Amino acid sequence: MAAAGAPLAREPFDRTLLLVSPAALFMLLLFVYPFVYGLWLSFTPKEGGALANYTHFFTTDNLWPTIWTTLRLALPATLINVGLALPIAFKMRVKTPYQRWVTTILVVPITLGTVLIAEGMLTYFGPKGWLAQFLQFFHLYDGAIRLTHNYTGVLISLVISGFPFSFLLILSYITGIDPGLARAAATLGADPKAQFRHIYLPLLAPGLAMCFCLAFVQAFSVFPSAVLLGSPAGPTRVISIAAYEAAFEVYDYSLASAIAMIMGFVQFVIVVAVLGLRNLFYRGPMIGGKG
Amino acid sequence: MSAAATRRVGTLVDRAWRGLLLGFMTLFVVNIGLMIAAVATSSFAKRWLGTWLPEGWTTTWYTAAWKEFQLDSVLWVTVQVVLAVVLLSLLIGVPAAYTLARREFPGKRPLMLLFLLPLMVPPITYGIPLATVLYQVHLAGTIYGVILANLIPAAPFVILVMTPFIEQIDPNLESAARVFGAGTGRVFWHVLVPLLGPGILAASLLVLVRTIAMFELTFLTAGSDSQTLVVALYYAVFAAGVRAPQSVDAMAMIYMVVTLIWLLIALRFVNPTQLVSRVKEHPQAAA
């Protein structure tokens, strides 16, 4: 049977490959083409030479600082999210009914999305919300409580939507590691801390780097909460707001594409840097383990 | 003695660390819960200004929000968009996943990368060039533009969820069907689809939940009569100054109920981590 099937499979053209073509064509048409078109459009500005959009971006006072504004939000948010998610996910690596409950609760803020979180935060964290009332009632903090319409508000919303994401991702990486390895180490006298340092951390390094990149890229493209919860004219004027304004308020699609390309480029630089760091970090423990 | 002291300090630090983590977790979950409760309370409040609980209770905000935000047409658009995205992403994604699971061919790796990229690049980054293109072909502002835009993350998502599902099905079953003369189409409908039922159900529920909550792409491509629920909610919060906050909160509750019902249904069939961990395939694909 196999012999009869083999020549069929090796025919010059395998028709099964056709099944992938609608998906490939669709992605080429609606993902790759817009990107290439956007790149081309960004070099054909309304007026001026090919680089006019980019020089405009880097010389205009309400455009180029948006890169730093966004980084100032995205980097701390990512560090908080991954930094807290890692130890908590490590603590919960053992499968219990408890784990199922926590993952179910944490998936709720992700599903609700940033718009609903923003509305909830405006009601709950606002100057007259329950949190402010609680803090003032118990005199924990007597000054004016401003957690919305500023930098802090956007940072909190990034943690609310980003922490569950990082946690669930790291948890799925940790539970993918064979617990037999840790058990073997425990027989040799390793406490949980040593197991974490010498077994889980090296094995998790690629997953952690990936999680950091994804969490960062999400935080970097923050849009609804920066508008609704921040002060979109001032300290939380992030780069996606600048791109949106250029496209839908000024109708300068060329400049908007240039800003989107710059946004993609900054994300790419950070991702490459993190993945590069991961390689440096990963080699150490491997050599230590063998030596 | 000093060793014992060090150990005692060690356990103290350990206990403090554990307490800190537990404290953060509790704080996080409690505050999320209270946040949702605050929205719910406000949506039923007659007047609520700086007190623990509102002065009276009413349900009029819901009817007000329903009329004010034209929720009947918004909900109808949402249903159409979500159904179209689920069906089309299955139609495009499942055959592609089959090929990727069963065949080795030149160019498979770049193709996998092509399907992974839309899940790694945030929607707002590729949404702006995409909206530009859709405006040029006069699709943006219509429901078709919204459906097309939402398919970009949905179709690759189906591929990534379905590929491992198809890999675990024994290829001998297909060979047997072929021996008895079934063509690719019949193998697909009579052998694969029944076996893939659970996988297809899981993929469509995940796509459904993600499409209801997908804000950025819909926001960038929707016109005034092709808004989905989440975009309508955004505009309601954005223009909150002109409307009573309770009316916006009532709308937020309607959105929340719609999303959570589907999330609860989805969680009966999928693991919560599946909503985010589609990227787990990436290291294997890239390595």
**What number of other Cβ atoms are within 10 A of residue B232's Cβ?**
24
Instruction: Give chain B's length.
Output: 287
* Residue B74 Cα, gap to closest chain A Cα (Å): 16
Cα of first residue to Cα of last residue in chain B, in angstroms, is 51
Choosing among B27, B29, B32, B172, which should be mutated to test the A contact, i.e. which has the most A CBs within 10 A? B32
Q: State the nearest Cα–Cα gap between A290 and chain B, in angstroms.
A: 23
Residue with tokens 């992030």: A238
Q: What is the pLDDT of residues B162-201, one digit of tens each?
A: 988 888 888 898 889 889 888 878 887 888 888 888 889 9
**Would you tell me which residues 242-271 of chain A have a C-beta closer than 8 angstroms to some C-beta of chain B?**
243-244, 247, 253, 256-257, 259-260, 263-264, 267
* pLDDT in single tens digits along all 291 residues of chain A: 344 444 444 556 777 788 899 999 999 999 999 999 999 999 999 888 889 999 999 998 889 999 999 999 999 999 999 999 999 998 888 877 788 888 888 888 888 888 999 999 998 988 888 888 888 888 777 777 788 888 999 999 999 999 999 999 998 888 888 888 888 898 998 888 888 888 888 888 888 998 999 999 999 989 998 999 988 888 889 999 999 999 989 889 999 999 999 999 999 999 999 888 877 765 544 333 333
| Domain total of chain B | 2
* Pick from B35, B124, B209: CB nearest A221: B124
Q: What is the pLDDT of residues B122-132, one digit of tens each?
A: 898 899 999 99
Residue B279 has pLDDT above 50, yes or no: no
B281 and B145 part of one domain: yes
Q: What is the 3-state secondary structure (H, E, C) of A27-94?
A: HHHHHHHHHHHHHHHHCCCCCCCCCHHHHHHHHCCCCCHHHHHHHHHHHHHHHHHHHHHHHHHHHCCC
Q: Which residues in chain B are closer than 8 Å to A267, comparing Cβ atoms?
A: 121-122, 125
How confident is the model at residue A286, as a pLDDT? 39
Chain B hits for A22, CB-CB cut-off 8 Å, are: 91-92, 95-96
Residues B199 and B88 in one domain: yes
Residues B220 and B131 sit within 8 Å (Cβ to Cβ): yes
In a domain, B138, yes or no: yes
Residues making up chain A, counted from first to last: 291
Question: Looking at per-residue confidence, does A8 or B41 come out higher?
Answer: B41
Domain that residue B258 falls in: 60-286
Global ipTM:
0.85
User: Is residue B84 located within the same domain as residue B204?
Assistant: yes
> Which of A13, A36, A102, A119 has the highest number of chain B CBs within 10 A, making it the mutation to test binding with B?
A119
Kindly state whether residues B116 and B150 are assigned to the same domain.
yes
Q: What pLDDT shows up at residue B285? A: 34
Any domain includes B49 = no
Residue A7: predicted pLDDT: 47
Cβ pair A124:B216 closer than 8 A: no
CA–CA dist B35, B31 (Å, integer)? 6
DSSP-derived secondary structure for A113-139 = HHHHHHHHHHHHTSTTSHHHHHHHHTT
DSSP 8-state secondary structure symbol assigned to residue B241: G
List the beta bridge partners of residue B57: B45
Q: Does A145 touch chain B (CB under 8 A)?
A: no
Distance from A257 to chain B by nearest Cα, in Å?
6
What CATH superfamily classification does A32-290 receive? MetI-like (1.10.3720.10)
Cβ(A212)–Cβ(A78) below 8 Å: yes
Q: Structural domain boundaries of chain A?
A: 32-290
Instruction: Report CB contact under 8 Å: B277, A168.
Output: yes
- B1 shares a domain with B101: no
Whether residue B284 is predicted with pLDDT greater than 70 in this model: the reply is: no
- C-beta neighbour count of B249 within 10 angstroms: 28
Structure tokens at B253: 């509750």
Query: What residues of B are in contact with residue A122 (Cβ under 8 Å)?
Result: 237, 240, 245
Query: Domain for residue B256, yes or no?
Result: yes
* Owner of token pair 């092709």: B226
